[in-house]
Amino acid sequence: MSNPSTALTDTRLLLGVSGGIAAYKSAELVRQARAAGAQVRVVMTAAAEHFVGAATFQALSGQPVRSSLWDPAAEAAMGHIELARWASQVLVAPASADLLARYAQGMGNDLLTTVLLATAAPVALAPAMNQQMWAHPATSANVARLRERGVAIWGPGVGDQACGESGAGRMLEASELVEALIAAKVGDQLRGLRIVVSAGPTFEDLDPVRFIGNRSSGRMGFAIAEQAALMGAEVVLVAGPTSLPTPARVERVNVRSAEQMLRAVLDQIDRADVYVGAAAVADYRPVAPRPSKIKKAAEVMELKLVRNPDILATLADRARRPFLVGFAAETDDVLHYARGKLEAKRLDLIAANRVGLPGCGFDSADNELTLLWPDGELALPRASKAELARRLLLHVSERIRSRQG
């Protein structure tokens, strides 16, 4: 299991900063990447210097900042080709629409684009721009072209923007980018494995208007799918109703009810090495959903519910079963009930989490997990769901590799 303060040791990060208001977040990114053990050198575009001064990056990286191809002193110290060779990972954050366009065209009209062309290191871009600019077909075409060339696109996130609009285009936070750098470094951990992840709630219809649902947002399962893909797995995400965007390189199957989720999982399971059940699957559904809206009449209304099939238990009964990971969402006596579920459902691993408290569990950015398996357990303290997903997957990968001998 990697230690957060050494997770990027041996990483020589060349951070490109292009012009955008999000450039201020890149200063924090330098700090966090160094705290995780990386060496960092910064190359800024001329536009970036309008947003953050080179002195900030110089102080945080402990290295001179480069911005021009035509600085003889800087070229003498480390030429742009040497800089491109020095990097073990390149990340451009923020990557503006202009930078994406120039890189997609193969232009080398400033130091950053020249280094991007000259490097053999993996390149990741963290786009940041107004949501209309991100949605523009020209930007989409540039992003598609870069992806085809193997460039990783991290983000953008969705939310309020500096321009006052809201939508996709926010640069990921520094902590998310550091997590992506760590995941990229361990990019081979899950190569060759096919992982099916379920995420989100299920909705059990009562009538065309109402349903029984739960508070799951899908964030935990989506984080697992995203990290598994970054770690090299082939990933199928069976998602209950949620508006979360599909993570890069993840195949998504949308479902609504528990029965649909079971069918979608069974369609995928023959080829799967691992199943992670992060979805909050409804245990019961209405016996007979009504075809038209139920009218208000009696003072007390009784609902008749029937047990849903248990997806994990169905998979555990199969002759060829993948490595089975369940989740246990509990409000009290979390570890006791989780171990009960591990045994009752005959799982290889269960991730126990407390729900019903603010700041972890349902619909939060962070969580706390305890991993339990038949002869052991491991507490993973509070961290982002992405970080926990990565640790959970590293544990799964170690267990699978040790089984294979």
Return the residue matching tokens 């550091």: 178
Q: Which of 77, 81, 144, 163 is catalytic?
A: 163
Cβ proximity to ligand PMT, 267 vs 283, nearer residue: 283
Alpha helices in 78-173 (DSSP H): 80-86, 97-105, 111-118, 131-135, 137-148
- Quote the least distance from Cβ 149 to ligand PMT, whole Å: 33
- Quote the least distance from Cβ 348 to ligand PMT, whole Å: 12
Q: Which residues bind ligand PMT (CB under 6 A)?
A: 200, 216-220, 258, 277-281, 283, 308, 310-312, 326-329, 341, 353, 355, 361-363
- Quote the least distance from Cβ 395 to ligand PMT, whole Å: 15
Cβ proximity to ligand PMT, 40 vs 262, nearer residue: 262
Q: Report whether 14 contacts 43 (CB < 8 A).
A: yes
- Quote the least distance from Cβ 53 to ligand PMT, whole Å: 39
Q: Is 163 a catalytic residue?
A: yes
Tokens for 146, please give them: 């870069």
Cβ proximity to ligand PMT, 134 vs 362, nearer residue: 362
Tokens for 241, please give them: 């109703």
Cβ proximity to ligand PMT, 15 vs 223, nearer residue: 223
Return the residue matching tokens 């949620």: 242
Name the residue among 227, 236, 234 with its Cα closest to residue 186.
227
Name the residue among 234, 190, 241, 186 with its Cα closest to residue 218.
241
Q: Report whether 111 contacts 75 (CB < 8 A).
A: no
Return the residue matching tokens 């991993």: 371
Cβ proximity to ligand PMT, 123 vs 274, nearer residue: 274
Question: Exposure of 348 by Cβ count < 10 A (0-12 exposed, 13-18 middle, 19+ buried)?
Answer: buried
162: CB partners within 8 A, 6+ apart: 21, 22
Cβ proximity to ligand PMT, 156 vs 326, nearer residue: 326
Q: How far is CA 233 from the centre of its chain?
A: 13
- Quote the least distance from Cβ 8 to ligand PMT, whole Å: 26
Tokens for 136, please give them: 């523009």
- Quote the least distance from Cβ 74 to ligand PMT, whole Å: 46
Q: Which residues are catalytic?
A: 163
